[in-house]
Each structure stands twice: as C-alpha cells, then as structure tokens.
Structure 1
Amino acid sequence: MAFDGMFTHAMVSELRTKILNGRIMKISQPYPNEVILTIRSNRKNYPLLLSAHPNYARMQITQIPYKNPAVPTKFTMMLRKYLENAKLTDIQQLENDRVVYFSFETRNEIGDRLPLLLSIEIMNRYSNVILINQQNQTIIDTIKHVGMDQNRYRTLLPGATYRQPPKQEKLDPFAAKNSQRLIALGQQFPNREVLAQNIQKKFQGFGKVSSLQLADVFHQNDGQSDAEHLTTFLKATADPIPSLTTGKQLDFTFTNLGNDIQDMGTQFSSLSTLLDHFYREKATRDRVRQQGALLIHVVNQELKKNRNKLKKLQKEFANTQHANEYRIKGELLTTYLYQVKRGMTEITLPNFYDNERPLKIALSNQIGPSQNAQKYFKKYQKLKNAISYLKEQIKLTEDEINYFEEIQTQIELAEPQDLTDIQVELESGGYLRKNNHHKKNKRRVKINQPETFWASDGTKIKVGKNNLQNEKLTLHTASKNDYWLHVKNIPGSHVIVESNNPSDETLVEAAELAAYFSKSRNSANVPVDYVQVRRIRKPNGTKPGFVIYEGQKTLYVTPTEEKVNQLKTKNE
C-alpha cells in the first residue's frame, strides 16, 4: 500500500493542524497491535489511531467505532499511567521516513515535568508503537516487545535504551541540499518507469505510486521549470488532495498530481477520511478472520461432517428403493417353494407381478428353501423400517447444513464485535466448548446491539448481524406493528423498519439492506420478503434466529455498498 514517507509527511501536516496542543482524554487498545488516543483539541475529540498491524500499519484520525476488550492490556495500562491528560506539544517525522514522534508534556508523581515521546514506526511486520522517556531516552514500554534474539542491533523492551531505526542510505527530498540532485535525476531519465525506479532507489520515502507521480510531474510540458515542478509536488504534502487510484490495484495517494489523473478515483476531504474508507473493509475482514479463526474452523468442520453424512444417508435411502424387489422375491420363493431345492445357488421363476416375465433369484446353498424366502422378507422389512428413519435423519442433517451455512454467512458479514454473539450461540448449542471465563462469569452474556440505519425520510431501520441479535430484535425488541424483512430462502439478517406504515421508498431501502447483509450481497434482483412483525412466530425447539411467517409480500432489489453507506450516515 501507499503509506510511504511522502504520505507520512502529508499525514503529519494534517495531524498538526487538528490535534497539536490538545490533551489526551482517553486511551484504549481495541486490538493487540492498535491503540487509540482520544485527543481533545479546539473543543472537539479526535480519536488518533496508531496501528502497528503488519499489513495495515498507519496513523490517522479515525471515525470507525471500536469495541474495547473487557480487560485492558499491560501496554494500555502503561499508556494510561503516563499519558492520560498529557499535552501534545509537537509532531515530527524522522527525515522523510515512516517514523513519527509525538511529543507530550506531563508531570510525574511528585509534580516534576516529564517529557515523553510516543513513537510510531510504520514498517510492515516490524511496525511498532513505543513509549519513551525523553529525559534519559529509556523505553517505558512497546506494543510489541523485540528481544536480543530477534534483533541484536535494536532491542525494544521496557528499560532498554531507545535507538532509532537503522538509517537508510537514501536522501531526504525535503532537504534543500538534495533538491538539485533530484532535479538532475529527473533530467537524466526521460523514461517514466525508469525514472520512478531511480527515485525510489536514491531518495527516501517514495513508494511506487508517489515515485510514478513525481516522474509524471517532471515530464509535464506546462512551461514550468523542473525546480518549480519539484516544489509543487513537495508542497502538495501540506495541501493534499486525498485520492484513491483505480488502476490495476486499488491504492491511495495524498495528491492527484501526475499524468495518470484518469486513474484517480474518489477524492476525500482529508487523509484520515480516505484511510477510513480504504481500510474499513480490508481491516475488518482481516480482524474477523483472525479473531474468529476458531469459530470459522468449527463451522467448516460441522459443514464438512454434515455434508458427508448427508451423502451417506442419501445413498442408503436410494438403496431402500429396492425394498419391493426383496418382497417380490420372497413371495415368489414362497409361492414356488416346491421348485426350490437345498443346495441351489439361483433359480428362475415366473413373476406374476410383471406379466409372468421370468425373474432370476439368488439363493444361499447353506440354508433351506423356506429360510431363503425368509431372508428376503427380512431384508425387505429392514429397508422398509429404514425409510422413515432415513427421511427424518436427512431432514435433520439438511437443517444442520442450512444452519451452519447461515452462521458462515454471518461470520463473513460480521464486525469483530459481533463474533462474541456467534461464539455464545455455538457454545449454547454444544458445538463449542465453553471457556473458563464463561464458567466463572455466571451473569447472562449481553447481546450486542443491532446496527442502525436511517431511511431517506428519517425512519429508523435496524439490522441484526447474527442469530442472537436477529432473535432479540424480531421477537423481543420490535413492535408488533413494525415491518420485518428478510431475503427469501437465503441466509441473511433480520431487518426491522420501525414504522407501522412505511413508505414504498423506505421498504425498498430496507430491502436493499436485507439483501446487502445476506449471502446474496453481490447478486442482482434479490427477492426480499416483508411482513408485519405480528405475523412472525418461532416454532418450539428451533435454533436461534429461526422464524416462520405468512402473508408476506416480495420486493426485488439490487444492493450496493454506496446506498448502504448513505443510509448509515443519514441523520448522523
């Protein structure tokens, strides 16, 4: 991704304008590699996200809601001890590298001034967030501990002396003495790709996208000198135009300068807004895969087991279709018993069930004629008894497959905080062993709230994200006069329109939400049933979230992410 040194430079400029001289009001760590500092500045709270995630390392002001763990980590407690109510006095980038220092002023236990640095290093799997005592350059704590066995040059442990990351043998493009070298490089290589590669090789902080953009700027024929082109590009970090690039791979950049403006997608009001949009889906899916790994494994195992079981049951059921053949053979042997002699291995007898057409019957030479006939009758009776049992087992197994396919869909659509509800459901159903925490905590587990959306006319729409939320929303929270929607015959969310007389437009928007939060998210003309809640009922003994209904009508909609985002931000 394009969080290179140039983007870091632009982000530092944005953060300085918004949060500099603010105070830390709240500190949380929703995920192992990410910390959020809520900074109060100019009468507004800014949630500053510092991420050391190996794939999504970044710093930004985020508006994505996060749910904190029940027990704070040691790193969180250390940050709270030293940084709560601390004043942010400076934000500096290390040359043009992806290392940024947040300077804080606070006081220790006896009231003496205590200057602290909070460093974020955006270096893929080596990314880290480090709290440093600026007086003696000692590390107080880090979000990731790095011992001598992992890095001999640089130990990142509490109490160790802080050392900056190894210096790259590259030039800082923002240093005045290096500008002429960069201009000379632009004149030396007329080929765009070759120039971009040399910019990356010799100058600090350039990723693939930003180096290609600078190469484009150098090669523009607009009457300006190369020095003016370079100045324009570097100044863009202070006045960015945050944009998505829509080339071969979706990426982001701090400016739209360059010849490939046709590859620029949506533009955003700020770098942080751009990153929220870019990482929202990617980071959420990644967290769900990580945190829900056990749930995904259990669901996949149950699906595999039940699908194999269904194949065996269907094969056994197919064999029962031959039950009548055994009965006919037993009756023919009984009718023509006098023709059957002990020691025979087969006999051909006229079949009065098929116009006297001869039927060959296999015999056992170890038993008598009457016993051979009884053997066929026993096979017939066994298969006949098996039919009703197999039908019942096939139905139960198909229900299990449908249930776990629905759970699978819910995990795919889940936010990280929704996984707790799914885990509780699987534990209650006996599919997952309850952990010790649940055994000690005998209080009833609180179900997360469904997601809220707003129709164009201001009507509130609620969407359950899993079976427990669906059941609570439909059967306990919703009014009997509200309208309920669900994708027809496909796993998906329960959607409630909080109105007894919703407009046609509201029903269509709710149907789009139902289709989007279902297995048919990427389909067109999705059928969605809608009916008043009073017509919904839950049969006894059924699994969570299962309901039946009657008197429904059906809408056909095509869900889009853009529409869902509009409904989410409406009236906020």
Structure 2
Amino acid sequence: MNMAFDGIVLSRVTELLNETIVTGRISKLYQISKYELLMTVRAQNENKKLLVSIHPMYARVQLTQLNYPTPDFPNALTMFLRKHIEGSFIESIEQVGLDRILKITLRGRNEFKDLVEYHLYIEIMGKHSNFILTNKEDKILECLKRVSPSDSIRIMQPGITYSYPPLLEKKNPFENRPETTNLVKEFEGFSKDLAEEVTSRMEQGEDFKTIMNEIKESKELYITRGDKEKYHVIPLHCFGKKIDQYSLFDGLDAYYQFIDQKDRIKQQTSDILHFIQKEYTKNVNKLDKLEKTLFDSHNSDEYRIKGDLLYASLHLIQKGMKEVTVDNYYDGAKMTIELDERFDGKTNANHYYNKYQKAKNSLKVLEEQIEKTKEEINYFDTLNTLMDNADYYDAMEIKEELENMGYIRKKNVKKLKKKTHPHYDVYRTRDGIIYVGKNNLQNDYLTFKMASRNDMWFHVKDMPGSHIIVHAENLDEYTMRLAANIAAYFSKGKYSSSVPVNYCLVKNLKKPHTNKPGLVLLGHYKTIYIDPDDSFYDELEKVEDAR
C-alpha cells in the first residue's frame, strides 16, 4: 500500500489543485494504463496535465510535467469517459476530511446541450483504490475498477449509488494536540512515516503545533534518499540526512518517474515481451532436437556397415526372419541385425544403405538449420535484453521491427504519419554529446546513418546491448569510461562486474550481409573493462529525447 501518499500529502495536493485548475476545462482524457488516467486541463491560459493513478502500490493524484505515452486508439472506457467528461469545467475539488478520498465536481453539457453536473471520486486506498464517475445524485456511471458483490461488500458497478467507504473516527491534527503516543491511530491523515518523524521532533523539544503549521504551509516535497527512499511535505530527518527538496508536483514526478514506469511499460507491452520470450524458448528447444538429430546422423556409418554385412551373409537370410546374427569382419565380433521379415536379405541390405545415404545427405541441411537456429536464439536474446531497458516508444519500435521482419502480422489500422527516424536518447557531458540506442532500429540508425566517421562507438563484447555513439572534439578517459559504463548498463551484463566493452571509431565498422538489424562487423578496436552502475545519470544532462 502506498502510505507515502497519505491524507496529509493529499491535503496539500488538494490545496494546490484548487489554486491551479479549479474553473479549468477538461479538454482531453486518455487511459494510459490499466490503472492510470491522464487529463489535459485548460486553466489559467495554459494546458496542465492531471494524472490519476489507482495503482495498488503507487496510487496518487497530481499535476505532472512528464510526457506519458498515449494510445493511438481509445478503448470503450475511454470513449465513455470522454463523452461525459471532456468539455466539462472543474467547479470544485475537495478532500473528504483528511482521508485519502478526493471529490471533484464538474459542470458541462450533455449531447442535448443541457447543463449537467458530474462527480469524480478518487479513492487512494492501496489495492482498493478506484476512480468513480457519478451523476449529480451520485449514481455510478462508470469506474476504472468495477467491484462485484462476490469480490466485496462494497459494490462498484454502474447503476449503484456511490457511498463513501467506512471511515474511522479520528481527530484533526491541525485542530487538536496529541493525547497518546500513537499518532496514526489518533489523527486523520497520518502515515507511519510521518508519525515517526513528528514523534522524533517532539522528543527533541519541537512543539506539535509548530510542526503542523509547517505542514500546513508547505508547498514542497522532500525526498529522503537511501536504501528505501521516502517522501513527505516536510523533511523526514529521522530516515536519513540526504534530502532533496522539490516543489510538490515536481517532487512527485521525481519520485514516481522510474518507480512505476516499468510497471506501466510492462502492462502496455506485455504482448511483445511474451512473443519474444516464446520465440526464444521455441528456438532453444528446436536447437536441442536438431543437435540430437545431428549426433544420430554422425553415427550413420553403422547403417552402411550393417548393409555390407547383410550382403556378405545373404545365404543366412530368408523372408520371415526378424533378425540375423553375422560375423562382423570390421571388428571380428558377432553382430545381430534387425530385419524386416517381409523382405529377403538383399532388400534388407538396400534398406540400410538407403538409411545411410539419407543420413549423410541430411548432415549439410542439419548444419545449416542449426546455424540459422543459433542466429534466431541470439536475435531474440538481444530483443529480450533490449526490452529490459525499453520505455514505451522503444518497445513500440521493437514491435515495428518484428512486423518488418515478418515475425508478427501488421494490423490493418489507420495509417499514422511516418517517422523520419527512430527516437533515441541524447545526453550532454562536459566534453561532448552521447547518443544511446535502445533497440535495433535505433542502433542501426545511430551507427550507420547519424554518426560521423570520427565519432567513437561503444558496445559490450559478445553480449546484446545498446550502441553508444560519442561525439567529442577531445575524447578523454573520463568520457570514455562514462560511455563504457552506459554501454555496460544498457546490456545483458548490467548486473555483472568487470564487463568488457569494445570501442572504436565509427569508420572502422561495417554492416554485415544479413537482414537482421543491429549487427556490426568491427575492424580495429580496443576493449575497456567496467563495473556498470547508474551513476552516469548524475553526470549527464538529457538534452533531447529524439522522437
């Protein structure tokens, strides 16, 4: 349960939302994942993005500056919500006490141009979090997560009248002083983390009312860094000394940007990852069978020997016999040979010669199939590694690659505007620019189209990973190790130590004769060894996200 976003944090969020988007008009709505809605609100002469998440671990409401990928085509729920919400004005935003429930009142016009009132209820309650749209009389029109009678006593279905969940009777901490040491049980809106911080401060002589006034006036978010990062609207000194300060909504962006990104990407791209993993497993199993068949084919000489021995012993064989024991003049021992009782000795001998010839002819085909299957295994192993570091756009380009290669069928959908190039990440360092490709299309584009001949290229040795291009006038050891770290981090060796990274000038690279993208042939190159970590993020400035 996301207790970091407690009732006290929501109270500060509510006040800032009232200051920024009340009277604003909802111009667009998207469902960007199973748990998230993104609304564009036109308020105070600018567009603001309101994010609502009912994720079991990361539920929250906030304004965001981040760019979230939106579906090209809306689902049925999105169409329904757009019909009722888009074009409506936000009349009020209020928190229910200090509980984690937000009520947003909207006014707009229906399809008959009549004035209508809608209510949005956002409940932030761990796995029970929900987003509910009701009419003026609080009859549920739709909800992001429907709850049937078999799942809970509290039903969430269209047609049911909305009611608040059971609320505990607690005191308002802004109006009362503590009478017990258990602040969570005594006061509304308190999480365990906040209670621990307030208790620690009071033990050091700080007055409770003073602390609550600091909370009430706060428009900031403080993130305490450490093994377990925590945040609140006041610094949580009791959990660590390294604390970063942000404005409230920027702080929520900073905290959740990477925490829930992978979960969102997993939801949006699970079908692609499943296909890649299935193809990888299929080819691994295929290789095992082919190698067993190849082993049997290498033993084909046994068929020829049996044919020779049968021809030498025709006088011992008659129709109806199931086997014959003959002298093996190759090793001086006896050999028992199985026979087809329907045929004579000569025909049985020819059957063994035919098996020998077939096995001999299949060797070349088997070796070709084994080589091709190994290439497929390496290809899908590469895609699997790239998916591990992919954002939504990277994953969509991997899907595009699979479609272009004929592995998956292209859907007959409305044709979108063709991109001039794949997107890729661009960072500025103190000595130049670093370009990062995170899928095969990006890697090919950066290495063979965008890069200059004298740019430096980095890639992990003998493992799948990103192509890193460095454009710098003077490439010093600092920048080289930085680029090598990025190459190792965005590779299959991400969690290894002393990872070998090859580097060379782009002019020393050639594209092999293959239809598989992302592959290169190296000319003159050197190797550097690196322990990968994510420290490079602190040393780089992201200057562009080329899309």
Task: Answer yes or no: same fold by TM over 0.5.
Answer: yes
Q: Does 1:484 align with 2:457?
A: yes
Q: How many angstroms apart in 2 are the aligned matches of 1:288 and 1:413?
A: 10
Contact 2:143 2:158 survives alignment (8 Å): no
Equivalent residue for 1:5? 7
Gaps of 5+ in 2: none
SS at match of 2:179: helix
Equivalent residue for 1:200? 184
Contact 2:426 2:544 survives alignment (8 Å): no
2:68 paired residue among 54, 66, 69? 66
1:404 paired residue among 380, 384, 393? 380
Q: Once the 2 structures are TM-superposed, how far is the Cα of residue 241 of structure 1 from its aligned partner?
A: 5.8
Equivalent residue for 1:269? 246
- Within 5 A, what are the aligned runs for 1:78-477? 78-83=84-89, 92-101=94-103, 120-129=122-131, 144=144, 165-166=164-165, 168-174=167-173, 176=175, 179-180=176-177, 183-186=178-181, 195=182, 199-217=183-201, 220=203, 222-223=204-205, 228-229=207-208, 231-233=210-212, 235-236=214-215, 238-239=217-218, 242-244=222-224, 246=226, 250-257=229-236, 260-262=238-240, 266-331=243-308, 336-337=312-313, 342=318, 345-351=324-330, 357-364=331-338, 366=341, 368-437=344-413, 440-441=414-415, 444=418, 448-457=422-431, 459-477=432-450
SS at match of 1:294: helix
Q: Once the 2 structures are TM-superposed, how far is the Cα of residue 55 of structure 1 from its aligned partner?
A: 3.6
SS at match of 2:503: strand
Give CA-to-partner distance per residue, 1:191-219, whole Å, 9 cap, x none.
xxxx3xxx43443223332334444445x
Q: Structure 1 residues 255 and 571, CA, compared in 2 at 3 Å: closer, same or farther?
A: same
Q: Structure 1 residues 443 and 217, CA, compared in 2 at 3 Å: closer, same or farther?
A: closer
Contact 1:462 1:495 survives alignment (8 Å): yes
Q: Once the 2 structures are TM-superposed, how far is the Cα of residue 96 of structure 1 from its aligned partner?
A: 0.7
- After superposition, the CA RMSD in angstroms is 4.1
Q: How many angstroms apart in 1 are the aligned matches of 2:475 and 2:139?
A: 59
Q: Once the 2 structures are TM-superposed, how far is the Cα of residue 245 of structure 1 from its aligned partner?
A: 6.7
Q: Structure 1 residues 154 and 368, CA, compared in 2 at 3 Å: closer, same or farther?
A: closer
Contact 2:38 2:49 survives alignment (8 Å): no
Contact 2:235 2:243 survives alignment (8 Å): no
Between stretches 295-304 and 358-367, larger displacement belongs to: 358-367
Q: Once the 2 structures are TM-superposed, how far is the Cα of residue 234 of structure 1 from its aligned partner?
A: 6.0
Give CA-to-partner distance per residue, 1:401-421, whole Å, 9 cap, x none.
111112222222111233322
Give CA-to-partner distance per residue, 1:6-56, whole Å, 9 cap, x none.
222343456567x37796696453614221446666x98764433233442
Q: How many angstroms apart in 2 are the aligned matches of 1:23 and 1:429?
A: 47
Q: Which amino acid aligns with 1:229?
A: F
SS at match of 1:242: strand
Q: How many angstroms apart in 1 are the aligned matches of 2:99 and 2:148?
A: 24
Q: How many angstroms apart in 1 are the aligned matches of 2:16 and 2:530?
A: 41
Q: Once the 2 structures are TM-superposed, how far is the Cα of residue 58 of structure 1 from its aligned partner?
A: 0.8
Q: Once the 2 structures are TM-superposed, how far is the Cα of residue 546 of structure 1 from its aligned partner?
A: 2.9
Q: How many angstroms apart in 2 are the aligned matches of 1:497 and 1:9?
A: 47
Give CA-to-partner distance per residue, 1:77-128, whole Å, 9 cap, x none.
6544124xx7xx875432111123567899999x999998765432334444
Q: How many angstroms apart in 2 are the aligned matches of 1:509 and 1:125?
A: 41
SS at match of 1:67: coil
Contact 1:217 1:233 survives alignment (8 Å): no
Contact 1:485 1:531 survives alignment (8 Å): yes
Contact 1:463 1:493 survives alignment (8 Å): yes
Contact 1:92 1:102 survives alignment (8 Å): yes
Contact 2:327 2:333 survives alignment (8 Å): yes
- Identity, % of aligned positions: 31
Contact 2:458 2:469 survives alignment (8 Å): yes
Contact 1:39 1:48 survives alignment (8 Å): no
Q: Which amino acid aligns with 2:195?
A: S
Q: Which amino acid aligns with 1:165?
A: Y
SS at match of 2:246: coil
- Within 5 A, what are the aligned runs for 1:499-538? 499=472, 502-538=475-511
Give CA-to-partner distance per residue, 1:109-150, whole Å, 9 cap, x none.
9x99999876543233444456788xx677897663769979
Q: How many angstroms apart in 2 are the aligned matches of 1:65 and 1:562?
A: 23
Give CA-to-partner distance per residue, 1:172-230, whole Å, 9 cap, x none.
43352xx24xx2222xxxxxxxx3xxx43443223332334444445x2x345xxx235
Contact 1:20 1:91 survives alignment (8 Å): no
Q: Which amino acid aligns with 1:11?
A: V
TM-score, normalization by structure 2: 0.81
Q: Structure 1 residues 261 and 145, CA, compared in 2 at 3 Å: closer, same or farther?
A: closer
Q: Once the 2 structures are TM-superposed, how far is the Cα of residue 391 of structure 1 from its aligned partner?
A: 0.9
Q: Structure 1 residues 60 and 443, CA, compared in 2 at 3 Å: closer, same or farther?
A: closer
Q: How many angstroms apart in 1 are the aligned matches of 2:357 and 2:148?
A: 74
Q: How many angstroms apart in 1 are the aligned matches of 2:132 and 2:374?
A: 52
2:37 paired residue among 29, 34, 38? 34
Q: Which amino acid aligns with 2:324?
A: T
SS at match of 2:190: coil
Q: How many angstroms apart in 2 are the aligned matches of 1:492 and 1:325?
A: 46
Gaps of 5+ in 1: 187-194, 352-356
Q: How many angstroms apart in 2 are the aligned matches of 1:409 and 1:80?
A: 40
Q: How many angstroms apart in 2 are the aligned matches of 1:349 and 1:148?
A: 78
SS at match of 2:532: coil
In the comparison of the two structures, how many residue pairs are matched? 530
SS at match of 2:172: coil
Q: Structure 1 residues 340 and 569, CA, compared in 2 at 3 Å: closer, same or farther?
A: same
